[in-house]
Structure 1
Amino acid sequence: MKHSHRTFENPPALARDVVAEALERALGDTAYEALAAVALVGIALNDNDREFIEHCCIEVGMRAAAGSQLLGLAGLCLGHTARRFGRLSERAVALAEALATRAELDPSDVDGRALDGLDDIRSCLRRSEAE
């Protein structure tokens, strides 16, 4: 029996125009969601502009169709952003909460990554307030 080992590498932050184009394309056609997912994760983990990351996550979270893999990912990426920067805008927190609620109610609408993201947000924002 041959075993295959999968490896995962965090994607780099892409240029902002590339990210914007990838997200816009995926919001119009689900065939492009994989590239948009890489772009979103890349900026959440590596871009140094919290407001840009939040903007992208909010756009995806507000505009992606129900059931899109990008919805849960937007919530997760907001969690990464909270962990990295120690803060989020009220609008980003509200979106993360809404996505997590949708995930609890119907995992076929928003996947469970939104719940993980909200956990990170609550943990990181509480910790930064205590410091």
Structure 2
Amino acid sequence: MTGAHHMFENPPALRHDVVAEAVEGALHNSMLEAHAAVALVGAAMNDNDRAFIEHCCIEVGTRAAAGSQLLGLVGLCLGHAAPRFGHLSDRAILLAETLATRAELDPLDVDGRALDGLDDIRSYLRCDEGE
């Protein structure tokens, strides 16, 4: 197969100021969401600062407009962070639950990646239940 097969590679973690600027820009201009998405995925997959990842996801999850592609993505990013760190803050878990509920109610509001993220959180953080 020539040219038909595409490989996905996780983006690298960027400096925190670059990620924060990308997120803030996308919250003010939806045309910048693709750059913010790359920055968020890179952070979720490769940054070693859980609190920073959560902060960025919470900023987007609580401030992005309904229908933003970033809403489902931050749920998924939190799902990717869960197994990496073995822990998420209560606030981050609540956000993931809220986004997943919104995705179930209206997939045009929040896309289904939020549901996948919550599934990952529940799978990987099961040992933390009841603590």
TM category (shorter chain) comes to over 0.9
Alignment of 1:6-25 (within 5 A): 6-25=6-25
> In structure 2, what is the Cα distance between the partners aligned to 1:6 and 1:37?
19
> In structure 2, what is the Cα distance between the partners aligned to 1:2 and 1:50?
40
Q: Deviations over 1:20-55 (max 9, x none)?
A: 000000000010000000000000000001000000
- Secondary structure, counterpart of 2:34 in structure 1: helix
- Secondary structure, counterpart of 1:45 in structure 2: helix
> In structure 2, what is the Cα distance between the partners aligned to 1:13 and 1:125?
23
> In structure 1, what is the Cα distance between the partners aligned to 2:6 and 2:128?
35
* Aligned: 1:26 with 2:26: yes
Structure 2: gaps of 5 or more residues = none
The residue number in structure 2 matching 1:40 is 40
Moved over 3 A (4+): none
- Secondary structure, counterpart of 1:4 in structure 2: coil
The residue number in structure 2 matching 1:68 is 68
Q: Sequence identity, in percent?
A: 76
- The structural deviation recorded for 1:76 is 0.3
Say how many residue pairs are matched.
130
Structure 1: gaps of 5 or more residues = none
The residue number in structure 2 matching 1:109 is 109
| TM-score of the two chains, using structure 2 as the length reference | 0.94
